[in-house]
Amino acid sequence: MSEYPSLHMLIDGEQVSGGSRRTHTVVNPATGEALGELPLADAADLDRALDAAARGFALWRDAPAQQRAAVLQGAARLMHERQEEIARIATLEQGKPLAESRIEVMMNVGLFNFYAGECQRLYGRSLVRPNGMRSTVVHEPVGVVAAFAPWNFPIGNPGRKLGAPIAAGCSVILKSAEEAPASALAVLQCLYDAGLPKEVAQAVFGVPDEVSRHLLGSPIVRKLSFTGSTVVGKHLARLATENMQRTTMELGGHGPVLVFDDAELQKTLDTVVGHKFRNAGQVCVSPTRFIVERGVFEAFRDGFAERARRIKVGSGLDAGTQMGPMANPRRPEAMDRLIKDAVARGAKLHCGGERIGNQGYFYAPSVLSEVPLDAAIMNEEPFGPVAIINRFEDEAAMIQEANRLPYGLAAYAWTGDAKRQQRLGRYLEAGMVGLNTTMIGGADSPFGGVKWSGHGSEDGPEGVLACMVTKAIHEG
């Protein structure tokens, strides 16, 4: 396909591919057809990336903040100019509607511009000390960052993984998902073209477990940044203990949405249904468990299912498509397994519950209600286009259900009661809480979870500080 670029790794500024390297076939999830062959790193490639990153850190840690800012602003400008090209690549390899890919590019533009400002505001402090003594507290870049980004936001995830370390003065080795590599390469290319020294950022691909063991096994790497499932996150966190690398973990969620009798029903439905099926539900902050107060339960369930049935599913490249295919064959398999299990345990299926067509990985928007707690889907992140709608008696029971799981990424609630909003803001166990809104992010706002959803933040000032260490210097 001519629109899809040839694939390579970017190590020490060189496009690396071919030779005796293994390859991974990148597939268009809308058609199941091959898009390209991705070279996978061998041990020598990873050692070369480590060596370049070590040199890159020595160089970039001392680069003036204005230089880092200029690179980030330049890359933001180039991404904006290349918006259409990058968005099409992302839709080809990941499947989401083009409109969503375009927004993703613009989220990176906003984030890089924010970090360009933030890296010029990394202040320390001085301490009052007796007898002419001087003590200062400074933030220093942590060092080489190994960053692992998943396939669900093929532009935005690499943008986050690259932007923060570069703002902080670190170097970074990025392993983005092998399923959607060209988007990550396009983002890194914008940074190179904006003047980022080539040693400062590397893009490798490979067998994930081989790459993570190799990189985290090296004392050159000082920080691990991972976005993905909790099970893989726990595995990587264990690997990182060996060299005591710092960690930022953006892991899974099981987003509770509390809908109270006093919520504005139509407005709530219009907002949450679109949010549920964005990116075919393959979003860590996707609303999943709709915890609905009894007075509004039937109307909410019926209104939700009616809107879900109307969602236009198709190729992300087709105008008018509201939901694309799932990103890989594992996801429709997971949907089938989880929905069948729920129905077998007594849940009601109102729509969906099946694949669409016989090519690609399309799955119908699905709505379940009255799902028992022992169903797998009530406990496992579905990461797909399925909503669970259950009835509850009162606020206390609803908060208890919201906090029942070990996950704590995003939580949402709709209510007209201001006092209740305050209680929910306080008692919902989540890193991000949306009250009468699904807009829970932004370049200037920390993004991250609690409990099994991970620790540390990306975005906001917190995202840059997460790539820094604190040092106290005392001068007598």
Q: How far is CA 403 from CA 77, 234, 258, 428, 432, in A?
A: 42, 21, 11, 7, 13
Of the pair 297, 447, the CB lying nearest ligand NAD is at: 447
Q: Locate 321 and state its tokens.
A: 């498509």
Residues 162-201 that bind ligand NAD (CB under 6 A): 177
Is 271 a binding residue for ligand NAD by CB under 6 A? The answer is: no
Is residue 338 at the binding interface for ligand NAD, with CB under 6 A as the rule?
A: no
Length of the chain: 476
Answer yes or no: 170 catalytic: no
Does residue 454 come out as left (phi exceeding 0), alpha (psi in the -120 to 50 range) or beta? left
In the complex with ligand NAD, the residue whose CB is nearer, 9 or 399, is: 9
- CA atoms within a 13 Å half-sphere pointing along the CA-CB vector of 334: 17
- Look up residue 153 and give its two tokens: 């936001």
| Two tokens, residue 423 | 């209680």
Q: Which is nearer to ligand NAD, 74 or 463 (CB)?
A: 463
Q: Select the residue interacting with ligand NAD from 203, 251, 335, 351 (CB under 6 A).
A: 251
Out of 45, 93, 100, 381, which residue is the one contacting ligand NAD (CB under 6 A)?
A: 381
Binder of ligand NAD out of 186, 232, 237, 424 (CB under 6 A) = 232
Q: Does 387 interact with ligand NAD (rule: CB under 6 A)?
A: no
DSSP for 49-80, please give it: HHHHHHHHHHHHTTS-HHHHHHHHHHHHHHHH
Whether 135 and 475 have beta carbons less than 8 Å apart is answered as: yes
Asked whether position 113 contacts ligand NAD by CB under 6 A, the answer is no
Q: Which of 189, 212, 225, 415 binds ligand NAD (CB under 6 A)?
A: 212
Stretch that binds ligand NAD, among 5-13, 247-255, 296-304, 307-315 (CB under 6 A): 247-255
Phi-psi region for residue 434, left (φ > 0), alpha (ψ -120 to 50) or beta?
Answer: beta
Helix (H, G, I), strand (E, B) or coil at 404: coil
Among 209, 242, 270, 298, binds ligand NAD (CB under 6 A): 209
Q: Is 284 a catalytic residue?
A: yes
Binding mask 43-82 for ligand NAD (x = CB under 6 A): ----------------------------------------
| Token pair for 282 | 């393959």
- Asked if residue 260 binds ligand NAD (CB under 6 A), the reply is no
Half-sphere exposure of 449 (CA within 13 A, CB side): 25
Question: How far is the C-alpha of 420 from the C-alpha of 431, rounded, in Å?
Answer: 19
User: SS3 of 308, please?
Assistant: helix
For residue 16, the minimal CB distance to ligand NAD (Å) is 19
Is the Cβ–Cβ distance between 253 and 449 less than 8 Å? yes
339 near ligand NAD, judged by CB under 6 A: no
Q: In this structure, are strands 432-435 and 410-414 parallel, antiparallel, or unpaired? A: parallel
158 in Cβ contact with 174 (< 8 Å) = yes
Contact 33, 3 (CB under 8 A): no
User: Among 252, 255, 332, 360, which residue sits at the site for ligand NAD (rule: CB under 6 A)?
Assistant: 252
If binding is defined by CB under 6 A, does position 224 make contact with ligand NAD? no
User: In whole angstroms, what separates CA 69 from the centre of its chain?
Assistant: 23
Among 112, 114, 151, 277, binds ligand NAD (CB under 6 A): 151
Question: In whole angstroms, how close is the CB of 253 to ligand NAD at the nearest point?
Answer: 7
Binding residues for ligand NAD, how many (CB under 6 A)? 22
Catalytic residue (one of 250, 293, 395, 458): 250
Q: Which residues contact 138 (CB under 8 A, 6 or more apart)?
A: 124, 470, 471, 473
Dist. CA 160–CA 146, nearest whole Å: 13
Q: Does 229 bind ligand NAD (CB under 6 A)?
A: yes
Q: Which window, 9-17, 69-77, 114-122, 224-232, contacts ligand NAD (CB under 6 A)?
A: 224-232
Q: How far is the CB of 81 from ligand NAD (least distance, A)?
A: 27
Phi, psi torsion values for 15, nearest 5 degrees: -80, 115
The piece of 223-231, 299-307, 391-399, 425-433 that touches ligand NAD (CB under 6 A) is 223-231
**How many C-beta atoms lie closer than 10 Å to residue 460's C-beta?**
22
Q: Read out DSSP for 375-393?
A: SGGGTS---SSEEEEEEES
410 binds ligand NAD (CB under 6 A): no
By beta-carbon proximity to ligand NAD, the closer residue of 155 and 232 is: 232
Judge contact between 415 and 424, C-beta under 8 A.
yes
Whole-number Å distance between alpha carbons of 356 and 312: 12
Question: Contacting ligand NAD (CB under 6 A), which of 60, 148, 205, 407?
Answer: 148
The residue annotated as part of the active site, out of 284, 293, 381, 458, is 284
152 binds ligand NAD (CB under 6 A): yes
Pick the piece of the chain touching ligand NAD (CB under 6 A) from 43-51, 192-200, 244-252, 399-407. 244-252
What is the smallest separation between the CB atom of 153 and ligand NAD, expressed in angstroms? Answer: 7
Least CB distance to ligand NAD at residue 216 (A): 9
Q: Contact positions toward ligand NAD, by CB under 6 A?
A: 148, 150-152, 177, 208-209, 212, 227-229, 231-232, 235-236, 250-252, 284, 330, 381, 383
Which residues are catalytic, by number?
250, 284
